[in-house]
Amino acid sequence: MGDTLRKIHKASVKILQEIGIRLHHQGMLDLLKENGVRVEGQTAFFEEKQLMHWINKAPGRFTLYARNPDHDMLIGGDHTEYAAGYGTPTIVAPDGSRRSATMEDFTNFVKLVDQSEFFNVNGGILVQPSDVMGIQSVPVMMYATLAHSDKCIMGIPGTTEQVEQTMEMAGILFGDKGELVKRPRVITIVSTFSPLQIDHTALETMLVCTRYKQPMVVSPAPAAGTTGPMAMAGNISLANAEALAGIALAQMLREGTPVVYGLQSLSADMASGNVTIGSPGYSVQAKYCAKLARMYGLPSRAGGTNTDAKGVSVQSGYESMMSMLVACQSRANFIIHSAGILDSFNATSYEQFIVDLEIIRMIEFYLADMDTDPEDFAFDVIKEVGIGGHFIQTQDTFERCRKNSWQPKIGLRGSTVMGGSPNDRLFANMERQMNAMLKSYEKPTLDPTVLQALHDYVVKICGVDEALVDSIQASEEDVAGAGRV
């Protein structure tokens, strides 16, 4: 254990011993008492030995299984998996204008995620649709995900009833919800309520997920200066205390339930009070998230292409690149918010989604480093060309030019004698790439009886309007550009 990590751990344990954590759920408080944890009112106080006893019961890695085995995900070790943006209610257009996200946007993003080679998990709250009643949004979003993608499933936190709806639908998809206990199928984010609280909704989510032994990402997000202390070490220690308490509780509910350690230690802009996610401070804290998770023997979660930029811009590029590069270099296992996020988690952009895929491509190329087999040193080619020659006409260049060099999908290269401003041409390339992905989308095969069972569950059990459900399933025509209607 490094000296800095040891200090963070010690500070977190002291927080849980002397200050405690408040749980807004009597059943959970009773469970803690049964397991010897001191409880006063709604506040639980953990001793280090108690805490680590339960932390050590969580698996260090696990596989999340998809309907299509090609998309099974290993979460843990040095392996990294990506998930797209999550939870925003707003769509930002290229000109910076904003509108509320719709169910059509949600379905578009399900298709874009399904088309991208970087994502093995789909769903969750890709955007929050404004045209669906809040109480019905969970089964509607889950239906759209299961109907249009065969990748692993991102769940949605909520009340017991809402999380049970997700498990019921996963059970329909995989034969029976009793089968879920045998294999991790749905991964759900559980957020603490900083400072030092876990609310009733988060605890109900944990209760249902552990009932079916489905994995959770326990993810505190204190913002330095508002919901956490200004000092970075203090903010990380606070987040770590919340994460450890949540993970220990999950293991008390059901030993061996897969849990991802997921600090989202944020900063606050003290001029406005808003959260900031594009600063170097956020990246420093994300780096320590991966280090701490590794120390505890747990899989880690980090933020992805995070930015405070209000629209697709120079700022959204450099902030997103830094945040994602740090997460990847730190070997975070599960990187959420990997594409599309703008404005400190408050908005999503189709164009930024495409930019962020380009960022991931660049980082993966960089981290792969270079091949060093004997032929890669190209001595014979260098000897053939000789002093003062050129390599452009060699067979080696012809064979390697498309696989050894990185080629942008949206970036500009080559001649400057072209029409339009560079910025207009970049946005045109983003539009072209997005349109191509949506146009080439093909819905994965799903047994019609299973699809009908999902349809009937959402309509008859969850009470969702049948016309809305039918509209999600209705057509696969080219919807390119629909995000800016």
Instruction: Output the pLDDT for position 483.
Output: 41
CA atoms within 13 A on the CB side of 117: 4
287: which strand partners?
none
Domains in the chain, CATH or no CATH each:
3-55 (no CATH), 61-367 (3.20.20.480)
Using an 8 Å Cβ cutoff, are 23 and 29 in contact?
yes
The model's pLDDT over 3-41, given as tens digits with 9 standing for 90+, comes to 999 999 999 999 999 999 999 999 999 999 999 999 999
Instruction: Output the pLDDT for position 401.
Output: 86
Tell me the percentage of the chain whose pLDDT exceeds 90.
88
Strands (DSSP E) along 281-431, which ranges?
301-303, 334-336, 341-342, 347-348
The model's pLDDT over 387-412, given as tens digits with 9 standing for 90+, comes to 999 999 999 998 898 888 888 999 99
Confidence of residue 414 (pLDDT cuts 50, 70, 90): confident
Span 449-474, mean pLDDT? Answer: 94
**Both tokens of residue 406?**
């990185």
Would strands 21-23 and 197-198 be described as parallel, antiparallel, or unpaired?
Answer: parallel
The model's pLDDT over 154-184, given as tens digits with 9 standing for 90+, comes to 999 999 999 999 999 999 999 988 889 999 9
The model's pLDDT over 317-344, given as tens digits with 9 standing for 90+, comes to 999 999 999 999 999 999 999 999 999 9
Q: What's the whole-model pTM score?
A: 0.94
Residues 6+ apart with CB under 8 A from 467: none
Instruction: Output the pLDDT for position 233.
Output: 95
Span 182-199, mean pLDDT? Answer: 97
Neighbours of 425 (CB within 10 A): 14
Q: Which amino acid is at 284?
A: V
Kindly provide the b/e burial profile for residues 203-236, where b requires at least 16 CB atoms within 10 angstroms of the residue's own CB.
bbbbbbbbbbbbbbbbbbbbbbbbbbbeebebbb
Residues 6+ apart with CB under 8 A from 269: 275, 276, 308
